[in-house]
Amino acid sequence: MMEPGTRISQPKPEWMILKLSIPSGHSEECIIKATLDGNITETHRTDLQLWNTFDIDLYSKYRESPLSIGEVCV
């Protein structure tokens, strides 16, 4: 359970890093689904690669929706 303003970070597992590394530039389709209070659901579909990561924001002052999923390329 997350509270507003809480941030959770989870690194990619080693098996996933290896799978995405061979061959170089390989990607896997990924669907991230988050549900807030059992009634607001946000889904984000993307190609998972070594250099992208995701943020799930609750009640962010920068977002219109109380729940949002963002993708960041690093």
- Examine residue 39 and state whether it is found in any structural domain, yes or no: yes
Provide the number of structural domains found in the chain: 1
Q: What is the pLDDT of residues 2-61, one digit of tens each?
A: 776 676 777 888 888 888 888 777 788 889 898 888 888 999 998 888 888 888 888 877
- Examine residue 8 and state whether it is found in any structural domain, yes or no: no
Give the residue numbers spanning the domain of 66.
14-73
User: What is this structure's pTM?
Assistant: 0.65
Provide the Cα torsion 42, 37, 2, 70; round to 10°.
Answer: 10
Burial 1-28 (b: 16+ CB within 10 A, else e): eeeeeeeeeeeeeeeeeeebeeeeeeee
